[in-house]
Structure 1
């Protein structure tokens, strides 16, 4: 290959003139070519902030952020019959390559032969891309099927398919058990495996069709948002365990919104707790924090990870035994809110 005989400065100029997906295609030529691209385009690859994988039944896609410019790319993977085998992404004769364009998107399109191969292809693609972009990028998964369990994933949003068991859902996280953010909705019924990796996510957002008691009592992360019903006794148990310093030491905020499922009896929940109130009756505490959120997933998703402010106001607070940590609580109608003073933004407001 003549390209390999050029001086490094010339090679760097040539590589810099190519789009990112073209560089990937070029890297398939040989291990030496791949190594040169990785070395000479290292600074360019470091500009990739986010890599998003989107999964559906017969396809998946990969999109980098930023996308619009030569810095990023979008790759499409479709299931097709009678695929011509080629050596790509280091997985041998499994998928074929063609170029796909339209007026809005400019993408490389790859094909594989069966749904059983999707997991193998996705793992190989992810491993290959990770070698290029490294650990500085954020890797996220959006899926309306049970996605393959990929290593070193930071964020996952699954629209849980109907009739998914707790074990099947757990299998999606075995390779990346310690994630920054997980969101579950769709047909999620609230059932999880004991000591689930999902409950260890730093930020967890769930929309449950069933009672979420086990989610709350088993949560080990920092911030939890739940849409769905909880038993009053579970809220009482949670608050008592926190106040007595017997659990939830990592928890910084909690929001429960039970919508039309259920209303909570504030008086009954806090009747045996030593709930404090701010000294002056005209004062109310507004507490604010940043909660990770997922954008709506799409096969063309280019939206980077984001966080949005959450807040509430309350005069009620608890003091934890042992260390004196303070937490604001609010129990009103269908909503339960809980947030530490430490680590969150607090402001006294006159009512």
Structure 2
């Protein structure tokens, strides 16, 4: 599902949140609603601004297993703000891959591809990651300037990040 240039908040019960893939260009501050209610696998969001606590809450909710069980990939592009990596990563208590170990690239086939897009998600190559408490699943986090990328691996921390 692709939604562009909307300014109104979406109803929390909207079926939009059930879409497997969501591409949203939103020019008002409604991203927290998407981060609270999205139930699909992949989300690509472009927004004007954001609040750091919203990103931290999203990651911590994923880590606790309280939400986003099906999520595989999330990319948020902020059009007017810089995302301060240190503040976000401290808030989610990230882990780091040892510098001597190889960094793996997280990439997936996109659920939905329009005629202008590449078939796979952009690779997330990052030393920072978080672990979901309920199943020890790992998600890579990459923050570059105004982009937040979050990719969930189909393996546990022991199978991937501690092994290599």
CA deviation vs aligned residue, 1:166-200 (integer Å, no higher than 9, x gap): xxxxxxxxxxxxxxxx0011x31252112211111
Once the two structures are TM-superposed, the CA of residue 266 in structure 1 deviates from its matched residue by: 1.2
Match of 2:93 in 1: 274
1:196 equivalenced with 2:4 (yes/no):
no
Once the two structures are TM-superposed, the CA of residue 238 in structure 1 deviates from its matched residue by: 0.2
TM-score by length of 1: 0.41
Determine helix, strand or coil for the equivalent of 2:120. strand
Corresponding residue to 1:262 among 78, 81, 100: 81
Aligned pairs for 1:64-79 within 5 A? none
Determine helix, strand or coil for the equivalent of 1:341. strand
Residues in 1 aligned to 2:20 and 2:70: alpha-carbon distance in whole angstroms: 9
Give the 3 Å change call, closer, same or farther, for CA 307–201 of structure 1 in structure 2. farther
Residues in 2 aligned to 1:247 and 1:337: alpha-carbon distance in whole angstroms: 17
1:332 equivalenced with 2:144 (yes/no):
yes
Residues in 2 aligned to 1:195 and 1:227: alpha-carbon distance in whole angstroms: 22
Asked if the contact 2:74–2:150 (Cα under 8 Å) also holds between the matched residues in 1, the reply is: yes
Determine helix, strand or coil for the equivalent of 1:284. coil
CA deviation vs aligned residue, 1:239-279 (integer Å, no higher than 9, x gap): 010111111111111001113x2111111112143311112
Larger Rg: 1
Match of 2:71 in 1: 251
Match of 1:224 in 2: 43
Match of 1:210 in 2: 28
Residues in 1 aligned to 2:99 and 2:89: alpha-carbon distance in whole angstroms: 21
RMSD: 2.1
The structure, 1 or 2, with the larger RCO (C-alpha pairs under 8 Å, 6+ apart) is 2
TM-score by length of 2: 0.84
Once the two structures are TM-superposed, the CA of residue 333 in structure 1 deviates from its matched residue by: 1.5
Match of 1:93 in 2: none
Which protein has the bigger helix share?
1
CA deviation vs aligned residue, 1:199-251 (integer Å, no higher than 9, x gap): 11000001111122211221111100001132111101000101111111111
Name stretches of at least 5 consecutive residues in structure 1 with no aligned partner. 1-181, 297-305
1:322 equivalenced with 2:141 (yes/no):
no
